[in-house]
Structures are given as structure tokens and as C-alpha cells.
Amino acid sequence: MSHLTGNERARYVQRMFGRIAGRYDLLNRLMTAGQDVGWRKQAIAKLEIQPGAVVADLGAGTGDIAFEIARRHPDAFVISSDFTPEMVWVGKARRRGASVHWLIADAQNLPFKPEVFDATISGFLLRNVPDVPRALAEQRRTLKPGGRIASLDTTPPRDNWYRPLLEFHLHRVIPLLGRLVAGDSEAYTYLPSSTEKFLTAERLAEGFSQAGFQAVGFVRRMFGTVGIHWGRK
């Protein structure tokens, strides 16, 4: 689970997301009451995509972010990349599947030359990689000078009066939804566990700066349990 490290963690995450690929989008909508759609749009806006841009959606899942970029910027070249083959297969079969270019790849070892992208973005990726600095370094390596990065991910709840309510949602509601809708409570037990053990929004912003990004910023959403981060190479 979330205590695993290195290749063992990578294999666990890959198998887990492979099992739930067919129900992944539905569970995202249910867990967030549909708010994840708006968060993705807010993250995309931070990229300031220009006409003809080359954009990579990393850890793309079934393509929600990539599809939205292609819809907003039909002249952009959009790559939708994920580590889990089943996610890619489901995404390619979706209605807008042909609007982006699909790739099975590891976000920590991107198969691209340096400085090829105008922008990179990820949704719920960084919490799942074994080595966050390496994933950020790979994005910086493949970005052109001036290129922009954005990330949407969960972040540990802050210690305040409504934290017990958030913990109830994380540890009771989400695993229940996982069991009822996806038939996989283990996967949706991993989610809250990995969220609580992930970097705070402040520490992830520091990680962006340490990776060499400038003009780094972030905002919190969903009572502080979701963060949108951005920066520029």
C-alpha cells in the first residue's frame, strides 16, 4: 500500500489502477461530487496554452485532462501518457479518444528528448510515484525554456475543526464507494492512506522550486484536501 517504496510501489500502483480502470472516472465524480471536473479546468488554465502548443498530460488515466485541453485548444498537439496499460485502453475507447495521442510510459522515465513540450500537466499523479523529485525533474527536462507545469493532486487535511469530517469521508465513504461501485475496496483504501502520507501543499510547492521551477504557486480546494500547483521553467 502507501508504505511501499521504489519498484515495489510502482508495481502495486500499476496493478491497482489496472483493476479499477473501467470505473475510474465514475468514482472520481462520486468521490468529489463532480468537483474534479472544475479542478482540472483550473489546472489547465495555469498552463496558459498558446496556439500550436505541444502539451503532455502525464499520469493521464483515461484522458480527462488531455481531452479538455484538446477541446479548448484544437490546434494543440496533446499527448496523453499513463503508466497503466488498462487506463490507456479505456481512454482510447472513449468518445474523444482519437482527439489526443496515447502513450504508455513511466512519468519518472519519460521517453522524450529534452525541451520538447510547451507545457506538462498531471492529475493525481505525484502522490502515486515512488520519487516525486525525479518526476518533477523529468518534466523540467522535457519542457522548453519558459514552458509551464501544473499539477492537480490530493494533499493531507489540515488540522482544524472539520478534519474529523474529512477523515470520515476519506476512511469510510471512499472505501465504501470503491467496494460498491468498483468492487475494489482495497484500491479506495489506498487513496486516503496515500493522501495522508503525501506532501503538504506547502512542501510540494517547495519541491517545485527545488526542481528548478520559477513563479511557483498553489491553491487548495475541497476543504484543503486538494491542491493545484503550477510553475514555469
Whether residue 214 is contained in a domain is answered as yes
The yes-or-no verdict on residue 70 having pLDDT over 70 is yes
The answer for 139, left when phi > 0, alpha when psi is -120 to 50, beta otherwise, is alpha
Mean of the per-residue pLDDT values for the chain? 90
For the chain, report the end-to-end CA distance as a whole number of angstroms. 33
- Indicate which CATH number applies to the domain containing 163: 3.40.50.150
CB-CB contact of 136 with 212 (8 Å):
no
How is the beta sheet containing 226-232 ordered, strand by strand? 101-104, 77-82, 54-58, 117-123, 143-154, 226-232, 214-221
Per-residue model confidence (pLDDT) at position 157: 81
Average pLDDT over residues 194-210: 93
Separation between Cα atoms, residue 214 and residue 207, nearest integer Å: 11
Residue 176 in any domain: the answer is yes
DSSP label of 141: H
DSSP E strands in the chain: the ranges are 54-58, 77-82, 101-104, 117-123, 143-154, 214-221, 226-232
Which structural domain range is residue 105 located in? 6-232
Query: How, if at all, do strands 77-82 and 143-154 pair?
Result: unpaired
pLDDT at 160 > cutoff 80: no
DSSP string, 150-178: EEEEE-PPPSSTTHHHHHHIIIIIHHHHI
Query: With bands split at pLDDT 50, 70 and 90, how would you rate the model's confidence at 5?
Result: low
Residue 140: band (very low, low, confident or very high) from pLDDT cuts 50, 70, 90: very high
Are the C-beta atoms of 71 and 95 separated by less than 8 Å? Answer: no
Point out the least confidently predicted range of 17-26, 108-117, 136-145, 207-216.
17-26
Residue 6 has what pLDDT? 64
Beta carbons within 8 Å of 141's beta carbon, 6+ residues apart: 110, 114, 115
What pLDDT is recorded for position 180?
75
Q: Could you identify the residue written with the cell 527536462?
A: 141
Q: Taking the mean position of all CA atoms in its chain, how far away is CA 25? A: 13
Q: How many domains does the chain have?
A: 1
Query: DSSP class of residue 127?
Result: G
pLDDT at 124: 94
**CA–CA gap between residue 198 and residue 189 (Å, rounded):** 14
188 within a domain of the structure (yes/no): yes
In this predicted structure, the answer to whether residue 145 has a pLDDT above a threshold of 90 is yes
- Report if residue 76 sits inside a domain: yes
pTM (2 decimals)?
0.91
Percent of the chain clearing pLDDT 70 (strictly above): 96
How far apart (Å, rounded) are the C-alpha atoms in residues 47 and 228? 12
Sequence-ordered strand ranges (E) for 14-106: 54-58, 77-82, 101-104
* 7-21, 75-89, 172-186, 210-224, range with the lowest pLDDT: 172-186
Q: What is the pLDDT of residues 117-139, one digit of tens each?
A: 999 999 999 999 999 999 999 99
The amino acid at residue 114 is: P
- Say if 1 falls within a structural domain: no
- Summarize pLDDT for 85-114 with one digit per residue, the tens: 999 999 999 999 999 999 999 999 999 999
Please report whether residue 104 resides in a domain.
Answer: yes
Residue appearing with cell numbers 493545484: 228
- Residue 118 CA to residue 219 CA, distance in Å, equals 22
